[in-house]
Structure 1
Amino acid sequence: MSIGFKVDGFRDMERALAGLKRGTAKAVVRRALKKVLKPVAEAADASMFQISVTSKLSPRQRAAASGDFIGSIVSMYIGPIDDEGRGAPHAHLIEFGTGPRKHKSGKFVGAVMPEPFMRPAWDANKAEMLERLKREIWTEIQKTLDRTAARNARAGRR
C-alpha cells in the first residue's frame, strides 16, 4: 500500500537551513523534531513505560540502528526507557508479544499476547506530523536568526 501526498515549503526551508552553520542547523531540526514527536511520546506514555524522544542511543542500540545514519544529518529516536533512563530491552516483547515458549524439556512456560503502545501512538499522530514539523522548523529558524541578530547587536557587529 502506498500513500501519496504533496508538501510545500520544504525547499525554501532547506535553503534557510543551508544559510545557517551546520551545527546550528542540526540543532534547529533536533529542537523541532523533539516538539513534533512529543504528542507521540505522550500518547504512548499511557503504557507501562516512560517514553523518551532523543538523538542519543546506547552502544547496543547504536549497533542495531547503524543503517539509520546513512545519508542522514539528523536522527531522532522515540521509545521506551526504564526507571534509570536507559533503554527498556524488554519493551518489544510487550509491543509485539511472543510465540509459545517451551523449555528444552518440553515444559510449556507461556506466551505473551501483544499489547501495542508505540504503533497506535504513532498512527494517531502521523497524519498532521509533517505539517507540524514544517511549522516548528520555520519557528526555530526564526528564533535562531533573532538570537543571532541580538548577539551581533550586543557585540556591536552588523
Structure 2
Amino acid sequence: MAKTVCSRFHADYSVCVALISDVHDARELRKSVMSGKFEATLLNPEMILDEFQILVAANQAINLHVLNKMVTKSLHSEILYRLSPSKNISDSFKKFGTGENDKAVCVVIVNDKNKSTLDLILNISQGKLTDLEKLANLTDMDKVKKIYKLTDEELSQSPMLDAIVSRIASKDIVTI
C-alpha cells in the first residue's frame, strides 16, 4: 500500500495526507467536495513541494478552527487558503486547488478515522494511491518560485521548503 502521512495536532484532530495518481475524473471529485458529499482538501500537487508544507498549513487551520477564527467557511478550505501566500481566498483556491482536468491530486482529510473518505475519493477518481515520496516529482518548481516570490538569492541561503514554510507560518503577519 502507498504511504500516507497521518498526524495528530490536537486531541480531537488528526490529519491524513495522500497522493492519488492516474485520476480519471478530477472534475467529479471537485463537484463532490463542493456539494458536501465528503469533506476533504483537494490540492494541485504541482504546487506542493513536500507533505510538511501541507501539515504546517493544516496545523494553522486546526488552531484557527479551535479558536473559532478561521477566514474561510470550512476547515478543509482553510487548509487550502493557508497554503497560499495570498490573502485572496479565490486566488488561493485557483492556484492551490485541484483543476478539473488534473491527473494527480493531493488529498488532505481531517478526522477520517476509518479511512472511508479516502476510499470514497479513490472510488470516484478511479485513481491509485501513490507514495508521497513521488510528490516532489510532480512539483512545478517555476510556478512555486513565482507564487511564493522566491528569489535565487534567498534560495542560496536556505532550502526552498524552509522558505515556503516560513511564508505559510507568517501569512497573517507579513504580506508578500
**Which has the larger Rg?**
1
TM-score range, shorter chain: under 0.3
Which of the pair has the greater relative contact order for Cα pairs under 8 Å at 6+ separation? 2
Higher helix share: 1
TM-score (norm 1): 0.27
Higher strand share: 2
